[in-house]
Structure 1
């Protein structure tokens, strides 16, 4: 498995507009795009070759909703860009790593993603993403 870079750091927020006051207005990090996936509103803010991903639950089925009940606004996960998501899944399984989803699912910006079970990674939620062409 080839990890290309730290693609993003995900942070859960209660209110996207209020969060943008800090990240965009105060820190001056421009927002590149915003979208909604699986009951979650997300905003991507580039910092060099890495992004800050702000995540807000917009429905009770959002995985962010459950996280916010436990942890509130906080760091949620680290995402690494990989070249071949299927190959990464095969390699990780061969090394005994548990995954939260073994089949890649749709992610931000048209990417395909899998999440590693924090029980296998020292209690750190890790996302692997194979980016769509042009991202």
Structure 2
């Protein structure tokens, strides 16, 4: 596995993207509307920032209401998401997603419960 992206919850994905482009010398490589979100990916040398802006009520809007803007999750890329989920269960980690589901870019994704991972919401991504 290796680092894929850091998901950042924000009320203004485009504004934050412009800041990150200047601050980190990166650029937008992908944008999409996904479920109840506007999603912008900025390319880094070894991964991405994924900016998550709610477009209607949902998980990210609730997160922003409770925690404010900031780091939402860390994502790790795997070649075999089902094996990664089995390994997580084997070492005692609680899963949010028992089965992979479609995520941004049409990748397969699954989340691990932060109560089992030191308070960090971890996402597995299979491209």
- Same-fold call, TM cutoff 0.5: yes
Aligned equivalent of 1:88, options 78, 84, 88: 84
User: Does structure 1 conserve the Cα–Cα contact (< 8 Å) formed by 2:95 and 2:112?
Assistant: yes
> Is 1:48 aligned to 2:42, yes or no?
no
TM-score for both structures, normalised by structure 2 = 0.94
Quick one: distance in 2 between partners of 1:105 and 1:73?
A: 25
C-alpha change, 1:89 and 1:26, in structure 2 (3 Å) is closer
Quick one: distance in 1 between partners of 2:93 and 2:29?
A: 33
SS in 2 for 1:31: strand
SS in 2 for 1:20: helix
User: Which moves more between the two structures, 117-126 or 22-31?
Assistant: 22-31
TM-score for both structures, normalised by structure 1 = 0.88
Quick one: distance in 1 between partners of 2:109 and 2:40?
A: 17
Q: How many residues align?
A: 127
Which residue matches 1:32?
29
